Chain A
Amino acid sequence: MPPDASRPRLSAPFRLSPLAARPLLAALALLLMFAVIVWREPRAASYLGLRLLLNFSIPLMFAAFAAMAVIVLGDIDLGLGPFIGLANVISARWLAGNPSLAALLLVLSLLAYAAMGALIAARRLPSIVITLGASFIWLGAGLLILPTPGGAAPDWLAALLRLHTPFVPLPLWLAVALALAGQILFITSPAGVVLRGFGGAPEALIRAGWSLIAAKSFLYGLAGAFGILAGLALTGINTTGDANFGTPYTLLAIAAVIVGGGEFAGGIVSPPGTVIGALILLLSGALLSFLDVSTDWQLSVQGGILILVLALRALLRKRDAHAA
């Protein structure tokens, strides 16, 4: 229950609702991190610097959107990373030589993801368990296709990811596009209201005549589609395939959604916040190398930034509860 629902909207015009403040908090943290990086290495702010810095944000942003499509339902996907790995090996093995086979397999895996959502909805199974079981299947299928790392990216895919975009590099354009498209689909459009409703109060929507199975199939299908995009992006950047490449993305993607303002309870996500969350997690890895600290501590900084952002948010929430 969002605390701002019961409060009159216009009583404090200069105060942001706590939900809207969350992505702003995340954006502030991102700017701060970027400022530190630029202070240590001014060339990071150049076109080429940004591009190198943000190269791996593309798969992470796609992965975060995949996680968001499931978290908006109040579900959790523990199989996303291995699924991204599967898309990575399918595309690395066949996309160059046998594109129709690769496309067929990718479409099949997308359908499998949607079917998983339908199964979870129809039998009212806990998502965490089903996606956990499925994670073994994705990883196994990936290893069956490429038992050892290998394969190659088709030239067009590698070229697409190296595309020289005007003004700012591709990852930033993609960030803006994803944030906008997500904001429209999940927040402002009528469909978005219904989809978020299924996370907040599914019984109410079912009673109003909406189909839970259709909603979950759609959102899990969407998660599958973003997962595939993340896998393709990995192929394009690494120009090789590895069934284990995707594994870290399971938790990184969930963390990006939550840092960006999402809630595990369902119904509350922020697409622009999720994009920012993904960039925060990416830069938290890079930050240390600019501060001349041993990369041994990189994971600590990542954990510390997660804690800091979420602790600040809890502080804001407390302040808000006192003010109300």
Chain B
Amino acid sequence: MPPERAEAPHAPLIRLARRPWFYAATGAVLVWLLVVASAEGRGAWATLGTALGFGTFYVITGLGQMLVIAAGPGNIDLSIPSMMTLAGYLGMGLMGGENGRLALGFLLAFGLGLAGGAANLLLIRLFAIPPMIATLAAGLVMQSVTIAYSRGSTAKPPPLLLDAALAHLGPLPLIALGALLLSAVMALLMSRSVFGRTLLALGQNARAAYLAGLRTGPAHAAAYLLSGVFAALAGFWLAAYSGGASLNMAEDFLLMSIAVVVLGGSRVSGGAVSVGGLWGASLLLYLIVTLLNVWTVSAGLRYVLTGLIILLVLGLSGER
């Protein structure tokens, strides 16, 4: 069942409230207003800019996870955090802090992403290993390569890359702009292209998609490859953004990449995605942390409230 356009005509507001991304986006706006109110109106745009900067990394990894989850029940990519750290470390290491080798490092990260995605695919398709275990195992290997490599290597970004990662266009971080562009392309691909429609059909009913003569294999493969590439690029930029790669820089992203997908209104059993929802959910999750920091709440309470909000939003948006 396609999630949108299927309902009888309703008042516009009710129709809006039925959009899968509605709750996360509304929540993000509400929390932002709360942050602004708590700071008595100061730094409203700066807060939003910071949220967009950090949120970018949730969005980019979420995009990859979303494609994989869209491919149907059981599909998930647990190698995302390991991929990020690997690409961050090896990318920074290859550049060695020199501006001249920027393109080289970027290409390496891109290639690592493709290779990681391909390794996941190989395990899933050729060895018929369930995606959850295949990506877990591939992630373990990536993690240990990173650990072995990290001994005595430079993890600092070249100055030019650091500047680019922190650059702003008005209140808007440049990387957020890039992520917006990428999201727009992905949203278009998912709704208009043969690849997107095939991937969604595969997620809704694999057998029906096969019988309809759709080429589901390449779409499934592309989802995993793109997830690898997105994770690698996110890791590359995150390492630059935070001034250097570290072994635990991506540990949040295992659960967060899944959380932003499901909070954003994509269906966890596949076949329905929402790119707009990814942004809503990413900003919501980051702004909650900001708000609780403004209120000087302890880390423990912050996690508890994050969990409650995830459960609340999912409860409100109902069954998927």
Contacts and interface: CB of A to CB of B under 8 A. Distances in A.
A33 interface: no
A297 interface: yes
Contacts of B310: 132-133, 136
B307 interface: yes
Nearest to A298: B144
A310 B122 CA distance: 13
Contacts of B145: 300
Given A128-B258, A299-B144, A255 B133 contact: yes
Contacts of B132: 76, 254, 258, 264
A258 B128 contact: no
Interface stretch (B99-107, B135-143, B176-184): B135-143
A129 B258 CA distance: 8
Interface string B288-313: 00000000001111111111101100
Interface in A123-147: 123-126, 128-130, 132-145, 147
A314 B127 contact: yes
Interface stretch (A15-23, A195-203, A301-309): A301-309
A111 interface: no
B280 to A, nearest CB: 16
A289 to B, nearest CB: 14
B171 interface: no
Contacts of B40: none
Given A78-B255, A128-B258, A310 B78 contact: no
Contacts of B306: 136, 140
A251 B262 CA distance: 20
Given A126-B269, A136-B303, A251-B136, A314 B148 contact: no
A130 B311 contact: yes
Interface in A236-279: 243, 251, 254-255, 258, 264
A147 B303 CA distance: 12
B268 interface: yes
A148 B258 CA distance: 27
Interface string A216-238: 00000000000000000000000
A296 interface: yes
B320 interface: yes
B123 interface: yes
B319 A140 contact: no
A310 B141 CA distance: 16
Interface of B: 74, 76, 78, 123, 127-130, 132-134, 136-141, 143-145, 147-148, 151, 255, 258-259, 262, 268-269, 298-308, 310-311, 314-315, 319-320
Given A128-B268, A130-B314, A135 B255 contact: yes
Given A129-B314, A258-B130, A299 B305 contact: no
Contact of B301 (A123, A129, A134, A144): A144
Nearest to A78: B255
Contacts of B141: 299-300, 303-304
| Candidate in B130, B140, B262 with the most chain A CB atoms within 10 angstroms | B140
A148 to B, nearest CB: 10
Nearest to B129: A310
A255 B259 CA distance: 21
Contacts, number: 139
A273 B209 CA distance: 35
B137 A143 contact: no
B311 A306 contact: no
A138 B308 CA distance: 11
Nearest to A138: B307
Given A126-B269, A129-B262, A143-B303, A134 B311 contact: yes
B300 A296 contact: no
Q: Which 10 A-B pairs rank lowest in CB-CB distance, beginning with the nearest?
A: A140-B303, A136-B307, A143-B300, A303-B140, A140-B304, A144-B300, A137-B307, A133-B310, A299-B144, A314-B128
A294 B140 contact: no
A67 B239 CA distance: 34
A23 B78 CA distance: 25
A141 B140 contact: no
Nearest to A244: B251
A147 to B, nearest CB: 6
A128 B307 CA distance: 13
A224 B315 CA distance: 22
16 contacts: A78-B258, A126-B262, A126-B269, A130-B314, A132-B259, A136-B306, A137-B311, A140-B304, A140-B306, A144-B301, A296-B144, A297-B144, A302-B140, A303-B140, A306-B137, A317-B128
Nearest to B123: A307
A47 B302 CA distance: 46
A142 B255 CA distance: 17
A143 B129 CA distance: 36
A123 B307 contact: no
Interface string A108-128: 000000000000000111101
A140 B305 CA distance: 8
Given A137-B304, A303-B141, A317-B128, A143 B314 contact: no
A129 B268 contact: yes
A139 B254 CA distance: 15
A320 B258 CA distance: 36
Contacts of B304: 136-137, 140-141, 144
B129 to A, nearest CB: 4
A128 B319 CA distance: 13
Contacts of B148: 294, 296-297
Given A126-B320, A303-B141, 11 more contacts: A123-B315, A125-B314, A132-B262, A136-B255, A138-B307, A140-B304, A143-B298, A144-B301, A147-B299, A299-B144, A306-B140
A31 B35 CA distance: 58
